[in-house]
Amino acid sequence: MVRFGGADNTMSKEKTTMQPVTHQNGGAKQPPTPPPAQPSRMRLANAIRGKLVKPPRVLLYSQEKLGKSTFASHAPSPIFICAEDGTSELDVVRYPEPERWSDVFEALHDLQTSEHEFQTLVIDTLDWLEPKCWAAVCAKAKVSSIEDLPYGKGYVAALDEWRLLLARLDQLRAVKNMGIILLAHSWIKTFKSPDADYDRYEMKIHIKAGGLFKEWCDAVLFGSYEEYTHEKNGRTKAVSTGARLLHTQRRSAWDAGNRYDLPETLPLDWDAFADAVAAHRPASPAHTRARIEAMLTELSNETVSTKVRASVVRAADDAAELARIADKLSGLLQTSEVQS
């Protein structure tokens, strides 16, 4: 051990012997026993086969006053978190309008930990909520504007806040089995393509945040009025029928998509959307197996029948795979090759 001397600032070295720490009873103190290791969840025994039916995560964006909030109000037992006053004419249950970004998380915590009968959470709208997200980022960074953070770091930090929000929504969905509906306004932006630049509708939020939400949701829907073109006196005009539509597939003028194999266009109506989702979900395994057996009675080719039955055995209770087998068999029955 090195020890400093007195006034002459000399140093002297002294050997020390380390003695084990002992208890009062004289025994040497043993290091604490580490807790037993938790068994890993990532085991084949915990693997899950087949399709998982969960409440939907829906994103609907459109121009203002189209009926987004009305669409969401007809979802099962909805409760709204409204960042804008867009539901004042609707008979719905809503939290107080959030004043801060943290208010949204307090509402989600309340929904997750309280006993209630709500089945759907609606956030109305993302673009009105975004300034509160940015304000939280600015408060943490101690700047007055998100643009004050260089090199786009402010928007990157905001993306982390949005990810936290989505994680809480996933927790709510898992714990309370609640569906999630996110609403947003649209605006027209120029889309830069390798071939040519053109205008299209996009969500009215930062492009990185918009991309995150579209990846997260099961259905990204674009709402619009039904329009057609009419030519008169050599001039082409766009005419609206007044009908309000949901677009479920991507087109050059908008972004959309879904995991439910929905029709390309639906009425802007929750029941129509829910019926389309239910219609395109595979039936129960037992029902599909019975359907396959009924079709096999019409099949005269024993070789094909044997292969189909073997495929059914391998599929077990995988509803999606059984549905694929049934669809393929239905197509085979319509060909003359199988019957011959």
Question: Per-residue pLDDT tens for 206-259?
Answer: 999 999 999 999 999 999 998 777 677 777 777 778 899 999 999 889 999 998
| Confidence band for 62, pLDDT divided at 50, 70 and 90 | very high
By the 8 A CB rule, do 228 and 239 touch? yes
pLDDT tens for 4-40 read 444 444 444 444 455 555 555 555 667 777 777 788 8
CA distance 247 to 266: 7
Position 335 scores a pLDDT of 61
Position 338 scores a pLDDT of 41
Domain residues of the chain, as ranges? Answer: 57-279, 285-339
| Confidence band for 320, pLDDT divided at 50, 70 and 90 | confident
The mean-pLDDT minimum among 5-9, 178-182, 269-273, 278-282 falls in 5-9
- Listing DSSP states for 34-99 in one string gives PPPPPPPS-SGGG---S------EEEEEESTTSSHHHHHHTSSSEEEEESSS--TTS--EEPPPPS
Average pLDDT of span 257-269: 91
Number of Cβ within a 10 Å radius of residue 135: 14
CA distance 3 to 12: 6
From residue 275, give the alpha-carbon distance in Å to each of 31, 54, 171, 258, 266. Answer: 63, 15, 26, 15, 10
Percent of the chain at pLDDT > 90 equals: 56
How much is the pTM? 0.73
- Which is more confidently placed, 23 or 297? 297
Domain range 57-279, its CATH number among 3.40.50.300, 1.10.3720.10, 2.60.120.10, 3.40.50.720: 3.40.50.300
- Which is more confidently placed, 66 or 19? 66
By the 8 A CB rule, do 120 and 79 touch? yes
pLDDT tens for 128-160 read 999 999 999 999 999 999 999 999 999 999 999
Mean pLDDT score of the chain = 86
- Alpha carbons within 13 angstroms on the beta-carbon side of residue 13 total 1
Average pLDDT of span 255-268: 91
Task: List the end-to-end C-alpha distance of the chain, in Å, as a whole number.
Answer: 97
Number of Cβ within a 10 Å radius of residue 161: 18
Position 284 scores a pLDDT of 78
Position 149 scores a pLDDT of 94
Placement of tokens 């801060």 in the chain: 100
By the 8 A CB rule, do 80 and 94 touch? yes
